[in-house]
A and B are shown apart, each in its own frame.
Chain A
């Protein structure tokens, strides 16, 4: 069992390395360069050259890669080619915002969706199941930016209950930040929960035609216990996996929500980075995203191993 865990971790590390190469190569493919983007329409050959020299954009790629990799391993993410600020200073605040948002969503969405998923599986074919299935179906079928904007119009513009954008400022009171975060939270919860509810339900129904379920029925076990004790415990693996994927999405995939609510998160920073050709920034954020993903997946695998008695205590 320890072997399996270690194996997972090693695989994770290898993956991360591949990612680093991938990210570097892809960012190198980007046309135009930071100098051009920053100086924009008013760029002149001299000012461009000056800018490049000033920020050391004129060394060969390979050197840049290893330099970058080395620095990153020593925890130095470099400095922004655009603003000149250190990447870590740019990221730190954003990372915090992103993590807070993700954490809150997770804390609310995960239990909620697992519970609802179980409920749907417990009464298959009933109105509860049908309405849940169709509701979630509808939600995962509409572009999230539509959901988000729709909510903004209703709650911010028309009703004026909530601010349209989620600008979090340190001086905000708890209540202010709560109101500010409300809509991104709701949007993300809707998007993420819909997925997880469906997956939980599917996962449960998957084991539902195992002989041991039939046996439970023949033992006169109540449906609640069949689902919660007999089925659920055999579905933990897959469910945890889905949860992990969704959490990874919360950290990296929420570009659109961050854009619509002008929420200063990492994903948005990454997009800005791409648009300003701020390669160190893009690379750093990308590595953070992939790192999170890999870690989450490892955790999920380990959880699955622990949840499975065969692997937990072999003969």
Chain B
């Protein structure tokens, strides 16, 4: 390549022999069918977050059915069809699941986003600045990490009461600590790269180094981690709901839906199964995508084993 432009000086046949590309340009991410399935499911729920309430046949709080724990495809005269049956309070499960997407997925997403805003900034700052700043941040972070998540959640929620903003904040703080750890690790990895050093040698500010040199290179691994965190947050909020501290009624969230209808299971109602499936479908879908992405690292060579 370069040599062609250099053609003025000396021998001509070098034009035939360009510098060869060292390695074939690295393949861009390609999802397997499982990964694609994951994308479809996640997309579906994301859409439901937006339009759920409008497509749902009933209001999430409508207590309208003839009876509680009605079976799949049962009908209430004058009201309509309950595709997934009804819950303990004679409400339509399908509707509640569709409304619940907003609560469960929406809240989890916001919380994770917030966790990342906090964790990544702090983590990379710690990695870049190092020294006592790193020390302090890390110790405090370790402390938070060492507290059991449920307990931390319980304390905060009991202390400040259970409102949606507080739920989001709580989950964010709890998971920011693990994000911090990862971000810091990647940060330190990248900090030793020559291009970061050359930026420092150029006299760049800390912020330039964080946001222009380090962050873009940590983006990909952090993105996959984001997926997993999202899953954890969903499960965490469900667990809080299990302990009665999660989303408050009448708002439907999948976790508390499972919780509230568990009794139904004792005589074979599927009422708690549907929301559980909703949770599973969402979390599994995300994991499928993440697995697909991270499968790119490693595995290939393993297939060469005999």
A/B: CB atoms within 8 Å of each other? yes
The one of B147, B150, B238, B265 that contacts A290, using a Cβ cutoff of 8 Å: B147
- Residues in A with CB closer than 8 Å to B294 are 202
Chain A 7-26: CB-based contact to B (< 8 A → 1; otherwise 0): 00001001100110011001
Shortest B25–chain A CB gap in Å is 18
B144 CB within 8 Å of chain A: yes
Which residues 113-171 of B sit at the A interface, judged by CB distance below 8 A? 139-140, 142-152, 154-156, 158-160
Interfacial residues of chain A within 248-282, with CB under 8 A of chain B in the complex? 248-249, 252-253, 255-256, 259, 267, 270-271, 274-275, 282
Q: Is the CB of A205 within 8 A of B302?
A: yes
Chain A residues, CB < 8 A from B156: 26
Indicate if B239 sits at the interface (CB-CB under 8 A): yes
Are B280 and A214 touching (Cβ within 8 A)? no
Nearest CB of chain A from residue B141's CB, rounded to whole Å: 9
Q: B155 — which chain A residues lie within 8 A by C-beta?
A: 26-27, 29-30, 274, 282
Number of interface residues of B (CB under 8 A): 52
Q: Does B305 contact A (CB under 8 A)?
A: yes
CA distance A271 to B155 in the complex (A): 9
Across-interface contacts of A213 in B (CB, < 8 A): 301-302
Produce 1/0 per residue, A119-135, CB < 8 A to B.
00110110000000100
Contacts of B288 in A (CB 8 A): 137
Segment among A57-65, A79-87, A138-146 that sits at the interface with chain B: A138-146
Identify B297's interface contact among A29, A144, A209, CB under 8 A.
Answer: A209
Alpha-carbon distance between A3 and B44 when the two chains are bound, in angstroms: 53
Contact B258 A145 (CB under 8 A): yes
B179 within 8 Å of A (CB atoms): no
Asked whether, in the complex, the Cβ of A209 is within 8 Å of the Cβ of B300, the reply is yes
The answer to the question of B251 belonging to the interface, with a C-beta cut-off of 8 Å to chain A, is no
A residues 1-60 near B (Cβ < 8 Å) are 11, 14-15, 18-19, 22-23, 26-27, 29-31
Contact A137 B287 (CB under 8 A): yes
Please tell me if the beta carbons of B159 and A29 are within 8 angstroms of each other in the complex: yes
Instruction: Contact check, A30 vs B287: say whether CB atoms are below 8 A apart.
Output: no
Within 8 Å CB of B300, what residues of A? 208-209
Category for how many chain A residues contact B: 35 or more
* A153 beta carbon closer than 8 Å to chain B: yes
Q: Is the CB of B159 within 8 A of A30?
A: yes
B291 within 8 A of A: yes
- Contact mask for chain B residues 227-266; partner A; CB cutoff 8 A; 1 contact, 0 none: 0000100010011001100000000000100110010011
Pick from B140, B258, B291: contact of A146, CB under 8 Å: B258
Would B302 and A274 count as touching, CB distance under 8 A? no
Residue pair B231, A141 in contact (C-beta under 8 Å): yes
Asked if A311 is at the interface (CB within 8 A of a chain B CB), the reply is: no
Considering the complex, give the chain A residue whose CB is closest to the CB of B159: A29
Determine if A207 is an interface residue (Cβ-Cβ < 8 Å): yes
A222 beta carbon closer than 8 Å to chain B: yes
- Interface status of A150 (Cβ within 8 A of chain B): yes
Question: When the two chains form their complex, are residues B151 and A289 in contact, meaning their CB atoms are under 8 A apart?
Answer: yes
Name the residue on A nearest B306 (C-beta): A223
Is B265 in contact with A153, judged by CB distance below 8 angstroms? Answer: yes
A16 to chain B, nearest CB (A): 8
Chain A residue numbers with a CB within 8 Å of B143 are: 15, 18-19, 22, 290
Say if the beta carbon of B298 comes within 8 Å of chain A: yes
A213-227 interface bits toward B, Cβ cutoff 8 Å, 1 = contact, 0 = none: 110010010110011
Who on chain B is nearest to A133 by CB?
B291
Chain A residues with CB below 8 A from B140, complex form: 18
How many whole Å from B155's CB to the nearest CB in chain A?
5
Candidates A141, A267, A282; contact of B279 at CB < 8 Å: A141
- Verify if A247 is at the interface (C-beta below 8 Å from B): no
Q: Are B280 and A142 in contact (CB under 8 A)?
A: yes
* Contact in complex: B287, A205 (CB < 8 Å): no
Tell me the complex Cα distance, A220–B304, Å.
Answer: 11
Flag if A208 contacts B298 (CB, 8 Å): yes
Chain B hits for A121, CB < 8 A: 302
A137 near B306: Cβ-Cβ < 8 Å: no
CA distance A202 to B290 in the complex (A): 12
A89 lies within 8 A of chain B by Cβ:
no
What are the residues of chain B within 8 A of A140 when measuring CB–CB? 231, 283, 287
Tell me whether B299 is interfacial, beta carbon within 8 Å.
yes
Are A11's CB and B298's CB within 8 A? Answer: no
A92 at the interface (CB under 8 A from B): no
- CB pair A15–B302 under 8 Å, yes or no, is no
**How long is the Cα–Cα vector from A249 to B304 in the complex, in angstroms?**
37
Residues from chain A with a CB closer than 8 A to the CB of B145 are: 293
Determine how close the nearest CB of chain A comes to the CB of B254; give it in whole angstroms: 9
Asked if A23 meets B147 with Cβ closer than 8 Å, knowing A29-B159, A274-B154, the reply is: yes
CB atoms of B146 and A290 under 8 A apart: yes
Flag if B151 contacts A270 (CB, 8 Å). yes
Check B202 for interface membership: any CB of A closer than 8 A: no
Question: What is the 8 Å Cβ interface bit string for chain B, positions 263-306, against chain A (1 contact, 0 not)?
Answer: 00110000010001001100110011001001101111111111
What are 22 A-to-B residue pairs whose CB atoms are below 8 Å?
A11-B142, A18-B140, A19-B143, A29-B160, A30-B159, A133-B291, A138-B284, A140-B231, A140-B283, A143-B235, A145-B258, A145-B259, A153-B266, A202-B294, A206-B297, A208-B300, A209-B300, A213-B301, A226-B305, A252-B148, A294-B142, A294-B146
- Can you add 7 more A-B contacts, CB < 8 Å, to A282-B155, A290-B146? A15-B143, A26-B156, A30-B158, A143-B238, A205-B295, A209-B297, A271-B154
Instruction: Give the top 5 A-B pairs by smallest Cβ distance, nearest first.
Output: A205-B298, A223-B305, A141-B283, A252-B148, A18-B143
